[in-house]
Amino acid sequence: MPELPEVETVVRGLREPLVGRRITAMWHDWQRSIHSPAPDEFAARVTGQLVRSLGRRGKYILIHLEHDTLVIHLKMSGRLYVAAADARHEADRWVHVRFDLDQGQLRFSDVRKFGRVYLTSDVAALLSHLGPEPLGDNFTIAGFREGLRERKLAIKARLLQQEFVAGVGNIYADEALFRAGIHPARPAKSLTDSEATRLHRTLREALQTGIEHEGASINWYRKPDGGKGQSQNHFFVYGRPEQPCLRCGAQINKIRVAQRGTHFCPNCQPEPPARAAKS
């Protein structure tokens, strides 16, 4: 699933071809892609509106219109791109939602059909469940530490909870924990203040690096121009099981934490005592 760096890259790639364009029609062939409002109301409201700006909240793409905001979640396999009306692309065969523009089309291709499209006049209410943006000023060290206290679940699982911090997923949680030298299965509440402060910093670093390399094209993710991101070529641990750690040379391990494949270096990220005693 695209995470914050991938979604941010999509937003940046769509600004130039979308801002200033007017939506002239909407088409869909998979009703579940349209979350709210109902398709007929959605089409009637969105048609005629001008695209003012684009932004992001967590893993959600925000296309701000004159009166509403078009909100899109790519989920596992979604791709969003602008193309000339008569242009044909490989991803077109999975397009299930399309917005005709006064110049070109905005196409939402989604192989797995898990993606969702919303139209709302109140973005804050729609996304009120999300925690702070990890690259924003509201993501404070004090708030981060407080969110770890009294949490028995693994730190990796805590980082994946969107109400705790928005936009972090499996990839960048693994990368941040490696950078911080923290085992992914450690209970969140076991982190010291200094460890929490370090993880707060490395989480930002991992996400910024992901943005700099325009996201990770491991499965379906592609940039709006169809090109691949390069973040996968700069990972320390994610997707590198049984390969040598780039820092110490130990073999990268893969386990399951929070029902997710999780990569770590057993030397750079030592196991918590309780877990080590059981092994």
Catalogue the active-site residues. Answer: 2-3, 59, 260
E strand map for 94-211: 95-101, 105-110, 116-120
Contact 268, 245 (CB under 8 A): yes
Please give the Cα distance from 253 to 121 (Å, whole number): 46
How are beta strands 116-120 and 34-36 bridged, if at all?
A: parallel
Please give the Cα distance from 263 to 252 (Å, whole number): 7
- Give the H or E element holding residue 12: helix 4-18
Q: Which two tokens stand for residue 267?
A: 């030397």
Give 222's DSSP letter: -
State which amino acid sits at residue 128.
S
Query: Which of 6-22 are b and which e, b meaning 16 or more Cβ less than 10 Å from the residue's Cβ?
Result: bbbbbbebbeebbeebe
